[in-house]
């Protein structure tokens, strides 16, 4: 990358190149690493007509489960990778009337949702926003209605430098950096840090609520 290139601009391009090949094997290989996805979905509110937006929806694993479980929810998936979205489209074809997929870079100053969301979901995506995780959290705050929820499951940290470096080669940052920013913007409903693979790393489950000014004071 030259000195004149903006990392915030080149990072989406890096992700597009990375997933051009990884999209083919993602579901077959990542299940062994992505702990807590089903647990996080069970923490979502049981409300009718809920509008949920997943940022970094990938191949549609979460959206497919939610579409089957909640027939009256409106679901939106956003991803920067065309190749991942192509697989998500095929997986979600049976639910295409109420599941919408958008190929966009998500973050502060990129674009805003046309309608406020009740839930913004990040599932193993925020640690790959390097740079830009703060902007993605801030944009989620803007896109949520007052009282809406952010739901996050992701890598948290590891005590092993070699593993941190190896994950960095795969564009994943594992430095416990998400939680302080999430707590800065949202009122915590659920915060769990759980071990994985016998303590090789820890993952984060976080559900937070956007403060509602009408109920404060």
Residue closest to 23 by CA, chosen among 65, 60, 58? 58
pTM score of the predicted model: 0.85
Q: Which CATH number fits domain 41-215: 3.40.50.970, 3.30.70.260, 3.40.1190.20, 3.40.50.150?
A: 3.40.50.150
As beta bridge partners, residue 117 has: 144
Domain boundaries, the chain: 41-215
| pLDDT tens-digit readout, 141-193 | 999 999 999 999 999 999 999 999 999 988 899 999 999 999 999 999 999 99
Below-50 pLDDT ranges, the chain: 1-9, 18-29, 31
- Looking at residue 27, its pLDDT comes to 47
- Looking at residue 2, its pLDDT comes to 38
- Looking at residue 76, its pLDDT comes to 96
| Residue 91 CB-density burial (10 A; 0-12 exposed, 13-18 middle, 19+ buried) | middle
What CA–CA distance (Å, rounded) separates 139 from 112? 8
- Looking at residue 12, its pLDDT comes to 55
- Looking at residue 11, its pLDDT comes to 56
Helix (H, G, I), strand (E, B) or coil at 154: strand
Q: How far is CA 12 from the centre of its chain?
A: 15
- Looking at residue 65, its pLDDT comes to 93
- Looking at residue 20, its pLDDT comes to 45
What CA–CA distance (Å, rounded) separates 7 from 137? 18
- Looking at residue 208, its pLDDT comes to 98
């Amino acid at each position: 990358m030259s000195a004149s290139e903006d990392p915030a601009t080149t990072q989406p391009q890096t992700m597009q190149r990375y997933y051009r090949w990884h999209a083919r094997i993602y579901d077959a290989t990542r299940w062994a690493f992505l702990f807590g996805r089903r647990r996080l979905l069970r923490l979502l509110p049981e409300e009718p007509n809920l509008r949920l937006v997943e940022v970094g929806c990938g191949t549609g694993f979460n959206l497919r489960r939610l579409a089957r479980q909640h027939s009256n929810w409106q679901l939106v998936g956003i991803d920067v990778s065309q190749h991942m979205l192509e697989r998500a489209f095929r997986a979600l074809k049976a639910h295409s009337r109420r599941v919408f997929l958008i190929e966009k870079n998500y973050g502060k100053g990129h674009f805003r949702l046309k309608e406020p969301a009740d839930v913004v979901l990040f599932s193993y995506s925020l640690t790959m926003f390097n740079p830009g995780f703060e902007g993605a959290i801030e944009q989620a705050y803007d896109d949520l209605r007052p009282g809406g929820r952010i739901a996050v499951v992701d890598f948290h940290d590891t005590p092993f430098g070699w593993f941190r470096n190896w994950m960095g080669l795969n564009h994943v940052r594992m430095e416990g950096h998400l939680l302080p920013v999430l707590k800065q913007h949202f009122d915590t409903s659920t915060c769990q840090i759980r071990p994985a693979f016998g303590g090789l790393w820890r993952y984060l489950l976080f559900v937070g609520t956007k403060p509602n000014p009408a109920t404060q004071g």
